[in-house]
């Protein structure tokens, strides 16, 4: 009679890698056109997976497609001449995972040019002028700040509370008054003052004149 003997081999361990998670990249920024280069972009290593990852930086082409920058580490120090977006491709070298990080944008603040003020008027004594308004500047970071001022001597000016838009409605006028809309870029040091003069006399009507004080960022260089 034959006796069957059952034996067990050694144990085999099945290691399951955790689901990989892409590391984020940092950071959005705005640079002024004369202040090159921007700060380097940095990435955080991916986690999970096999733990062995390769990295490749891509930038968004003007045509709308992503193209490689050739940089393959966790940092990228680009030189740009226009607003550009970047992302990091993170690939697990053991498991077939390819991940895409978040996208960051480097905004390139182009040269800044002022707009025009509007407009000459003729008003009567103790009457309310039409609203003043100014075209927004062109270029820069796009984050503009506006503040209207007034003066009774065209020498010293006082800011007008809450007058922080491109338009301003002066009150009824019975004496000479000057108004200025000061503009500045919140990120880059561009700025100008637009001047208006309201010439009011105690007569049937009064002359209102305005003049532009043009400014472009190139004048600073």
CATH classification at residue 154: 2.60.40
Tens of pLDDT, residue by residue over 34-57, are 777 899 999 999 999 999 999 999
Residue 6 counted as domain residue: no
Do 150 and 85 belong to one domain?
Answer: no
Do 165 and 121 belong to one domain?
Answer: yes
- Other CB atoms within 10 Å distance of the CB of residue 90: 25
Q: In which domain, by residue range, is 142 found?
A: 114-220
Distance in angstroms (rounded) separating the CA atoms of residues 64 and 59: 10
Residue 10 counted as domain residue: no
Which pLDDT score, from 0 to 100, does residue 92 have? 96
pTM for the structure as a whole: 0.73
Measure CA of the first residue to CA of the last residue in the chain; give whole Å: 105
Which pLDDT score, from 0 to 100, does residue 148 have? 87
Q: Which CATH number do you get for residue 51?
A: 2.60.40.10
**CA-CA distances (angstroms) from residue 126 to 135, 169, 177, 199?**
28, 14, 12, 12
Do 126 and 202 belong to one domain?
Answer: yes
Do 160 and 90 belong to one domain?
Answer: no
Question: What percent of the chain shows pLDDT beyond 70?
Answer: 81
Residue 26: pLDDT band (50, 70, 90) is very high
**Does the structure show a pLDDT above 90 at 197?**
no
Do 91 and 145 belong to one domain?
Answer: no
Do 41 and 130 belong to one domain?
Answer: no
* Strands 104-113 and 29-32, bridge-based pairing: parallel
Decide which of 69, 85, 109 is a domain's last residue.
Answer: 109
Which pLDDT score, from 0 to 100, does residue 66 have? 97
Do 126 and 211 belong to one domain?
Answer: yes
Query: For 180, what's the count of Cα atoms within 13 Å in the CB-facing half-sphere?
Result: 21
Mean pLDDT of 15-32: 93
Query: For 15, what's the count of Cα atoms within 13 Å in the CB-facing half-sphere?
Result: 5
Q: How many independent structural domains does the chain possess?
A: 2
**Which of 128-132, 167-171, 191-195 holds the top average pLDDT?**
167-171
Residue 207: pLDDT band (50, 70, 90) is very low
Tens of pLDDT, residue by residue over 122-161, are 778 888 888 888 888 888 888 898 888 888 887 888 999 9
Distance in angstroms (rounded) separating the CA atoms of residues 209 and 197: 5
Question: What percent of the chain shows pLDDT beyond 90?
Answer: 42
Decide which of 72, 90, 109 is a domain's last residue.
Answer: 109
Question: What value does the mean pLDDT of the chain take?
Answer: 83
What DSSP string describes 52-81?
A: -EEEEEEEE-TTS-EEE-S--SSEE----S
Decide which of 61, 76, 109 is a domain's last residue.
Answer: 109
Which pLDDT score, from 0 to 100, does residue 208 have? 43
**CA-CA distances (angstroms) from residue 205 to 119, 168, 173, 209?**
17, 22, 11, 13
Which pLDDT score, from 0 to 100, does residue 206 have? 47
Residue 194: pLDDT band (50, 70, 90) is low
Which pLDDT score, from 0 to 100, does residue 149 have? 86
Residue 29 counted as domain residue: yes
Which pLDDT score, from 0 to 100, does residue 189 have? 80
Q: Give the number of residues written for the chain.
A: 221
Mean pLDDT of 66-73: 95
List phi, psi (to 5°) of 219: -65, -20
**Does the structure show a pLDDT above 60 at 202?**
no
Do 142 and 171 belong to one domain?
Answer: yes
Tens of pLDDT, residue by residue over 96-109, are 999 999 999 999 99
Contact, 107 vs 86, CB < 8 A?
no
């Amino acid at each position: 009679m034959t006796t069957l003997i059952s034996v067990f081999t050694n144990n085999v361990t099945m290691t399951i890698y955790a689901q990989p998670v892409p590391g984020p990249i940092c950071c959005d920024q705005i640079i002024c056109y004369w202040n090159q280069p921007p700060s380097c972009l940095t990435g955080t290593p991916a986690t999970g997976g096999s733990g062995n990852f390769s990295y490749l930086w891509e930038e968004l082409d003007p045509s709308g497609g992503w193209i490689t920058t050739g940089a393959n580490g966790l940092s990228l120090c680009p030189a740009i001449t226009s607003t550009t977006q970047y992302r990091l491709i993170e690939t697990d070298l053991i498991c077939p995972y390819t991940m895409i990080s978040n996208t960051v944008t480097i905004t390139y603040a182009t040269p800044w040019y002022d707009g025009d003020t509007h407009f000459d008027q003729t008003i009567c004594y103790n009457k309310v002028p039409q609203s003043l308004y100014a075209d927004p500047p062109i270029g820069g970071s796009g984050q503009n700040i506006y503040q209207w001022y007034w003066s009774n001597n065209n020498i010293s000016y006082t800011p007008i509370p809450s007058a922080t838009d491109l338009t301003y409605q002066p009150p009824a006028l019975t004496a000479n008054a000057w108004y200025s809309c000061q503009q500045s870029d919140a990120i880059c040091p561009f700025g100008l003052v637009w001047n208006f003069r309201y010439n009011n006399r105690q007569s049937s009507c009064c002359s209102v004149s305005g003049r532009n004080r043009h400014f472009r960022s190139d004048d600073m260089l």
